[in-house]
Structure 1
Amino acid sequence: MTGADDKQYELAKTALKQGPKNLARKYLENCPDNQAAKKELAELDASDESLGVSICIITKDNEKTLARCLVSLAALNAEIVIVDTGSTDKTLKIATKYTRNIYHFKWIDDFAAARNYAAKLAKYNYIMTIDSDEYLLQPKQDELKKFFDGINSRKKVGCYLQVNMLGKSKEQRPYIASVSRVYDKRYYKFLFPIHEQLTQIYKDKVDNDPVYDLKLQCIHYGYTNQSKLVKKNQRNQALLVKQLKNDPTNTYYMFQLAKTYSILKKYKEAFRIYQEFFRFQKEYIYLWTRDAIDSYIKLCFITKKYDKALDCVQKCKQDCMESLDMLCLFANVYVASDQDEKAIEVLKIAEKLPVTAAYQEFGYRKQDVYQQLAEIYARKGKWLLMQQYEKLLPQTRQIKNELWSVTENKNLSIVVFVRNNETVKLEECLVSLALFKAEYVVIILGSSLASSKIAHQFTEQVYMVKEKLEADLYNFALAKAKGNYVFWINADEKLQGADFSALDKFLVKVGNYVGNILVEEPLLTKSEEPVLQSQTRFGYRKFIKFDGKYIASPITKKKGQNIQQIELPITLKHNLTKEEYQKYNEIRRTKLKNKLKNSIDVTLLAELATNYFSNGDNVHAIKYYYQLLTLPLDLQDELTLNSVTNLINALVNEKQYQDALKIVGIFKGYYAELSDFLFAAGTAYMNMAQFEQALNAFEQAQRQANSRSLGINSYLSSYNQGVIFEVQGKKKEAIGKYHLSNGYKPAKEGLIRLLN
């Protein structure tokens, strides 16, 4: 034996280890004097006979994927037949390393013809088909033997899972398909030029279940190269149009053509074909019909036609309730359509489905169900439910929702008070607060189980309490909260807007601080402007308590220290209809009057007057505000400022302009630097035709810019100045002020008058 023989033999062993058997065969044939090589060659030839199966591959220009495909087949010890349809790259050079059975087929736009040609050239009747851009995962020879030895292959075909990798690198998502690829060529052949299907040659009666699922899986990378994918679908389009012309009611071809149009971004044509598909297709129980639903809904999402996706779900839902993939897909549609509750409903069904495979047919997993539920609950602020599903996910799971990993802002507790008949408002209230990322403490006045059930979806901190003094109730809530700062809110309110960056700066302060926010009341008058009330709703828990007189007036725990007030850019809105709010206010007024019978309290009297004012009852508001002014008042207290300002406005509304000016004169020295007072004074001056004083007051209101209503700081003051200038005949100045009114409707009308 020569040194050259030794070298050829070593190369042969390396080739056998790596997979290219035909290359190994050539090396072994080049060392005729090596007995070990002769023995190896005989065993190699025999190995192709051991399984008695031919693996058929059709290929063209697949130099990048063919070797991996053929290496994965080596362990099966099967005959490999390759049919090339016109490669111009290194595909054939690679193929010759693995098999001697390489043939050529002139392409005639017919995949079935090419596959049948390969099967015809195969040595064995038992055929397995695989594409050159696929490779087997853990090939199992026993699976093929089991099928051909134990199954009536005259009546069955074998299927294995094809895992299609979509996208690239981290964006890849598997799409799973069950493909019919294993058969006996004496009884089955491929039919249809494109998207070919195995069909019985002889019309024997097939089994009730003509498909046998092999425990084999292949990975398909044919969809990762976008340019190749486009070329492939451009070819498919022509073939499918031709096929559909011959068989115009074939819904399978309709689906495939519509899917092809979608890939080519011909969305209008895709929707047109899908419309025909849904007109003719009546059942959606088959794998390919679910594929059609999946691709159609994705088309709807790409084009943002969520209403069409929702129509599809309603049409197909009943036939797909046992498919985890379809239920996850339907949940996506419901979420996109702002129907979270329906999304939760289908995901709960998916959660209960028995699932054995890691991936389902369209690449979804049980983890997707858990993540979708967790994200919905996170978005709604239902932290407890979110945490339950978060625990079922691996730590490496990519986080998609910005709220996902944050379950609690330990510096803030939100206390929600639930009173009678507020159960239906509670969930909407809590959901609106989700962006605070804070601990919830829910205090239920009474024993409403319905309220408790809703509250426990958001927090474990749920307490039912009997009727107590309101101040005691709030102090009880302070004791239960864990955050340094406490934000209190009623269940019939919801978050309207907030500047969270400003709030973050507030939440690092330590001391006797409270935060004031704006609460928008329902419109009860003809005014187009919402009524905004400033209320204290934030407090540093360790430094404050409630004084027992008024729930929204916290006081310091330490004597001799003053509470510092900070204005926060947060707005709440009463989640009530006009009728509900009126009824609420009637009940509140009755309670306040009953309390005032026992003793006159400044805070309660101010609340009663403001209640009437907010409801448009200026007469009663004026009565109680005048009564308030007879009592000892702290002129630095914001309660006094608000009362004086509201009294001026109520008097103006009742056309008691002279009385309004008297109040302005009394308090002008105290509140000349406060926008709210200046604006109210301006309206009084304007109605008494004291235009210079009015213009000065409105200008000062804008300059001070310390009102809690942006309108007073800006467009309302500009509008009133425009009205004065228009009355004075100063057209140019009036137009300028109207332009500065930020599109305020009366200002627009003024511009139309002056510019026409």
Structure 2
Amino acid sequence: MFRTALVLIARNEAGQIERLLQSIKPWVDDMLVLDTGSTDATPALAAAAGARVAHFAWCDDFAAARNAALDLANADWHVVLDADEWLISGGEALAALRHTRPDFVGSIELLDQFHDGQQQVARSRLSRVLPGQLRYAGHIHEQVIHNLPLRPLALQIGHDGYQPERLQSKKGRNKALLTLALAQRPDDAYLCYQMGKDCSVYEDYAEAEHFFARSADLLSDSPTWWADLVARRLFGLKQLKQHEAAIQFAETQLVVCAESPDFFFALGDLLLDWAADAPEQAELLLPMIEDAWRRCLEIGERPEQSGAVAGRGSHLAAHNLALVLEGTGRAEEAAAMRQAYAA
């Protein structure tokens, strides 16, 4: 038998932590909560839910805190989650770890809830189920260091840390840590991507573009998060009304992102915004907009792609396409499109 422990670091998470602990408790042998300086009831609530609670003096280093928590948990398997996450499905896969040798790293499917005019869900796969000896490196957006095989597990984890009210409570925290990390590693493309992402989340699109462009300049290949950067960059350039620069960038990505519905969704959105700002260009742009959203439907949903937003390969693209069809006198085709891709 192998011992399995939930491991998390937390600070002022009284509103969320019970949800996580109650969802995981039936499937693990232990729960370790490392409190990093809460001023609310987080430690008491965690203890009441059955977790072991320890304390850590925060030192602006996520890896240091994670590793301290892992040392205290000291299990054969560590399931590393955050307080604003919770188990949606897959408890049986966690329970099965008790009979599974810890010789691989397990990935979970994270469903990020966020609000972009309407409720959306973005999907990604993250390495969060770790053999007991593994530890992290990196002050922020820390990475687990290993050379073990990676195995996807049937675990769905929800996350609502990108909801507006949660974002405001964390505003500035990650940016400050990323600034420190980039001062030490200014040529780290991944850190530039994360800084651009953080700026974009808080609608600072000019600064986001600076870091996305920097990340793109530093890369010589296409990492798993590349399509997410491209889609976010196109959205930011649209917000900045830099349509031509965005199209020039998009043209360089047609092959690299050929199977990304998020890329073509962002491209259609960008072109539509350009057409609205320059009506004289609409006749030229409308067929391109239609082609972009039809390509989304041809590709279909790709939940395995990092940062993929649910619906961009199905009902969200179909809804936008139906509006174009109605606007160009094809009402029957629009109705059929809506029926075929009902959300």
TM-score band, normalised by shorter chain:
0.7 to 0.9
The correspondence for 1:173, drawn from 116, 120, 127, is 120
Cα distance, 1:312 vs structure 2: 2.8
Q: Does 1:320 align with 2:257?
A: yes
1:302 aligns to 2:239 (yes or no) = yes
Q: What SS does structure 2 have at the residue aligned with 1:160? A: strand
- Is 1:97 equivalent to 2:15 in the alignment? no
Instruction: Tell which structure's C-alpha radius of gyration is larger.
Output: 1
Asked if 1:351 corresponds to 2:294, the answer is: no
Tell me, in whole angstroms, the C-alpha distance in 2 between the residues paired with 1:233 and 1:290. 25
1:293-692 to 2 correspondence within 5 Å? 293-338=230-275, 339-353=285-299, 355=301, 361-365=307-311, 366-394=314-342
CA distance change for structure 1 residues 355 and 302 in 2, over 3 Å: closer, same or farther? closer
Structure-2 residue corresponding to 1:53: 4
User: Does structure 1 conserve the Cα–Cα contact (< 8 Å) formed by 2:301 and 2:310?
Assistant: no
Give the Å deviation of 1:318: 1.4
Aligned equivalents of 1:147, 1:198: Cα separation in 2: 22
2:180 pairs with 1:242: yes
Distance 2:205 2:261 in 1: 27
Deviation string, structure 1 residues 77-129 (Cα, Å, up to 9, x no partner)? 33101100000101111111122511101100011111111111113121111
- 8 Å CA contact 1:51–1:76 kept in 2: the answer is no
Change (3 A) 1:173 1:86: same
Specify the alignment match of 1:184 in structure 2.
131
- More displaced stretch, 171-180 vs 103-112: 171-180
Tell me which residue corresponds to 2:281: none
Q: Which of 154, 157, 175 is matched with 1:215 structurally?
A: 154
Q: 1:233 and 1:318, CA in 2 relative to 1: closer, same or farther beyond 3 A?
A: farther
Q: Give the counterpart letter for 1:192 in structure 2.
A: G
Q: What is the distance in 1 between the residues matched to 2:256 and 2:305?
A: 21
1:276 aligns with 2:214: yes
How far, CA to CA, are the matches of 1:257 and 1:335 in structure 2?
A: 27
Residue 172 (structure 1) shift:
1.9
Which one-letter code corresponds to 2:196 in the other structure?
A
- For the aligned residues, what is the CA RMSD? 2.7
**CA distance in 2 between partners of 1:268 and 1:350 (Å):** 27
* Equivalent residue number for residue 257 of structure 1: 195
Aligned ranges 1:70-109 → 2 under 5 Å:
70-109=21-60
| 1:110 counterpart residue number | 61
- State the alpha-carbon separation in 1 of the partners of residues 141 and 127 from structure 2: 12
Contact 1:324-1:364 at 8 Å conserved across structures: no
1:271 Cα deviation from its structure 2 partner: 2.6
Sequence identity, in percent? 22
Report if aligned partners of 2:74, 2:132 keep a CA contact under 8 Å in 1: no
Inter-CA distance 109–332: structure 2 relative to 1 (3 Å threshold): same
Q: Cα 1:234–1:344, aligned 2, differ >3 Å: closer, same or farther?
A: same
- Which ranges of structure 1 fall in alignment gaps of 5 or more residues? 1-49, 398-756
Any idea what SS the aligned residue of 1:89 has? coil
Cα 1:100–1:65 shift into 2, 3 Å: closer
Mapped partners of 2:163, 2:204: distance in 1: 20
**Offset of 1:265 from its aligned partner?**
4.3
Whole-Å separation in 2 of the counterparts to 1:132 and 1:389? 40
Equivalent in the alignment of 1:572: none
Contact 2:325/2:331 (8 A) holds in 1: yes
Which amino acid is 2:184 matched to? N
DSSP 3-state at the match of 2:309: coil
Tell me how far 1:262 sits from its aligned partner: 3.1
Instruction: Supply the AA of the counterpart residue of 2:128.
Output: R
Structure 1 CA distance, aligned partners of 2:208 and 2:309? 23
Residue 262 and residue 77 in structure 1: after superposition, are their counterparts in 2 closer, same or farther (change >3 A)? closer
Shift of 1:223: 1.8
CA contact (8 A) 1:75 1:139 kept: no
Q: What is the SS of the residue equivalent to 1:337?
A: helix
Letter in 2 for 1:55: L
2: CA distance, partners of 1:351 / 1:96? 48
TM-score, scaled to structure 1: 0.41
Shift of 1:231: 5.2
Are the counterparts in 2 of residues 76 and 139 from structure 1 also a CA contact under 8 Å?
A: no
Q: Report the Cα offset of residue 264 of structure 1.
A: 4.1
TM superposition shift of 1:349: 3.2
Q: CA deviation at 1:346?
A: 3.4
Pick closer, same or farther for the CA change 1:124–1:180 going to 2, 3 Å.
same
Shift of 1:310: 1.9
Q: Which consecutive unaligned segments of at least 5 residues does structure 2 have? A: 276-284
Using a 3 Å threshold, how does the CA distance of structure 1 residues 199 and 388 change in structure 2: closer, same or farther?
Answer: same
Q: Report Cα offsets for 1:168-212 as digits up to 9, x if no partner.
A: 9x83211222221111132x3211110111112xxx5x5xxx432
Query: CA 1:355/1:300 → structure 2, altered by over 3 Å: closer, same or farther?
Result: closer
Change (3 A) 1:274 1:59: same
Q: Which string of whole-angstrom CA distances, capped at 9 and with x for unpartnered residues, describes residues 36-72 of structure 1? A: xxxxxxxxxxxxxx76211101100011011111111
Separation in 1, partners of 2:239, 2:225: 21
Q: Is the 8 A contact 2:212 2:233 kept in 1?
A: yes
Aligned pair in 2 of structure 1 residues 380, 112: CA closer, same or farther (>3 Å)?
same
TM value normalised by structure 2: 0.87
1:282 Cα deviation after fit: 3.6
In structure 2, distance between residues paired with 1:360 and 1:111: 22
By how many angstroms is 1:142 displaced? 2.9
Q: Structure 2: how far apart are the matches of 1:131 and 1:258?
A: 22
